[in-house]
Amino acid sequence: MEHVQVHQNTCVFTDIPINETWCTKNPSPNDTHKSNDSQNLSYSSYHQVCYSCHFVAINLFDKEGPEENVYSTGFLVVYVLGGFSIFIGACGLLTNILNVIVLRTRPCCGPSLTALLIPLAFCDFLTNLGISCSIGAGLMMHGKISRGFEVQAVNYYLGSVAFLAQEASVCITLLISVERYFVVLKPLHAKRMFSVRKTKLFCAIVVGIVLLLHAPRWFETRWRKIEPAERIPPLEGFPYILEFTPFGHFYYEKIGHVYFILNYMFPIVILFIVNLLLYRGIKASSKERRRLSISSITNSDTSCPLQNEVTAALMFRWVVIVLILCQVVPILVGLIITLKRVAYREFGYFNVICLNVNAAVNIIIYCAFGKSFRSAYFSVLKGMWWRNSQKYPMSTFSRRTSTVQT
């Protein structure tokens, strides 16, 4: 008998209960219900396969799984949430492309901050792209439209890339907060520590650390082809499934809690502490500047660049606030899965909506709280519109003249 530990990306679309196993039938050669295929009978007669999941996936509203009713209330909610997530992801793709264009062509902020905002926009772009494609494939699997290998591969690999990019985005946000702390409160140290070259190096180190922490996840799974004799009702329609490797089983059972803390809890806590110190430092320095406002002309002239940096730090504070709020749902979903071993599908889709919103909303924050960003975005959009309007000037003129003649 062979025991297969099914990976959570497959368990989400099945009805295998937690702490239970589904085994293939092991008929004897004289079984009256044997298959017509003698090869399959020989295989199933001597090789029994049992499947189990680390958690059970259910719908919150009706507790029905995909094998029971694909038109239940829970599934309708899942489809609505999934479609809304794809729409937000599509908007995020456009906004992050615009972010990169503006940051590369318009001097909206200091060079060190620009060197960090561009990779942040790129990571957010990958997050929106990966989540949208993964959710689209997941909806196809939920509705039994297709559960083939290609659809499962899109769901798993692009989803993994999306969550990797999202964690890199969180760490880059943490690095930006540290950079803002030194630029605003310790400007002399900032000039030495956060030059453009060193800032890019710090960003590469942060992304490398995220990749290193994620490296074990790429060795925890393998694809398994489901032979006709190995099929069970919950795996109907799956030509392939993802299963845990022995390393993946050990990693999930023994190190999964540590991974959850390092990748979800720890960066958010550090991010909150750094921004709290930054905000308190800005308040203290603002009081000090107001107290010494009547000073020399030289000091008033040099305060303008510092005030711009403070404005950028206060603007980025809202990026951090939105990020922390959008991380609440993923942390709660992770805790429920870790402690109760239950995955509510509606919560899972609401989880990816929060991640998509977090990756797509930065352009709104930049325009709402950054005057230089707002003018740069309007300038780029105006230039695009002007170039498009001047693309066919003669045809436009001929249309106008023909209208006047008539």
Q: CATH number, domain at 257?
A: 1.20.1070.10
Residue 395 in domain: no
Residue 193 in domain: yes
Question: Model confidence at 35, in pLDDT bands (50, 70, 90)?
Answer: very low
What is the pLDDT, as a whole number, of residue 302?
45
Residue 402 in domain: no
Radius of gyration of the CA atoms of the chain, in A:
27
Element (H, E) at 3: strand 2-6
Query: Between 39 and 303, where is the model more confident?
Result: 303
* Mean of all residue pLDDT scores within the chain: 79
DSSP 233: G
**Residue partners of 338: CB distance under 8 A and separation at least 6:** 256, 257, 260
Mean pLDDT of 113-124: 93
What is the pLDDT, as a whole number, of residue 10?
84
Closest CA to 162 of 132, 139, 131: 131
Residue 400 in domain: no
The answer on pLDDT for 94 being more than 90 is yes
What is the pLDDT, as a whole number, of residue 208?
93
Range of the domain at 141: 66-283+304-380
Question: C-alpha 210: how far from its chain's center?
Answer: 14
The answer on pLDDT for 64 being more than 60 is no
Give pLDDT tens digits for 168-207.
999 999 999 999 888 888 888 888 888 889 999 999 999 9
Question: Model confidence at 3, in pLDDT bands (50, 70, 90)?
Answer: confident
Q: Specify the pairing of strand 56-58 against strand 342-344.
A: parallel
The answer on pLDDT for 257 being more than 80 is no
Query: Between 249 and 179, where is the model more confident?
Result: 179
Closest CA to 93 of 137, 115, 124, 118: 124
What is the pLDDT, as a whole number, of residue 29?
46
Q: Collapse the DSSP code of 306 into the 3-class scheme (helix H, G, I; strand E, B; otherwise coil) and give the result.
A: helix
Q: Are 55 and 348 in contact (CB under 8 A)?
A: no
What is the pLDDT, as a whole number, of residue 175?
93
Q: How many domains does the chain have?
A: 1
* Alpha helices in 31-142, H assignment, sequence order: 38-46, 73-105, 111-142
Asked which of 15-29, 76-90, 286-300 is least confident by mean pLDDT, the reply is 286-300
Question: Model confidence at 293, in pLDDT bands (50, 70, 90)?
Answer: low
The answer on pLDDT for 397 being more than 90 is no
Compute CA distances 133 → 48, 267, 373, whole Å. Answer: 36, 26, 30
Residue 194 in domain: yes
What is the pLDDT, as a whole number, of residue 235?
82
Question: Model confidence at 121, in pLDDT bands (50, 70, 90)?
Answer: very high
Query: Angle formed by the axes of helices 362-369 and 345-360, to 10°?
Result: 40
Residue 9 in domain: no
Share of the chain above pLDDT 70, in %: 80
Closest CA to 340 of 20, 21, 54: 54
The answer on pLDDT for 42 being more than 50 is no
Q: Are 104 and 150 in contact (CB under 8 A)?
A: no
Mean pLDDT of 126-154: 90
Residue 372 in domain: yes
135: tokens are 């959710």
The Cβ-side half-sphere exposure at 49, using a 13 Å CA radius, reads 17
**For the chain, how are helix, strand and coil distributed in percent, rounded to 5?**
75, 5, 20
Per DSSP, the chain holds a count of helices (H) and strands (E) of: 16, 7
Residue 401 in domain: no
Mean pLDDT of 391-399: 47
Count CB atoms within 10 A of the CB of residue 11.
23
Plot region of 69 (φ>0 → left; ψ -120 to 50 → alpha; else → beta): beta
Count CB atoms within 10 A of the CB of residue 187.
12
The answer on pLDDT for 21 being more than 90 is no
pTM of the model: 0.82
What is d(CA 313, CA 304) in angstroms, rounded to the nearest whole number?
14
* Alpha helices in 186-228, H assignment, sequence order: 187-193, 196-214
The answer on pLDDT for 390 being more than 70 is no
**Residue partners of 295: CB distance under 8 A and separation at least 6:** none
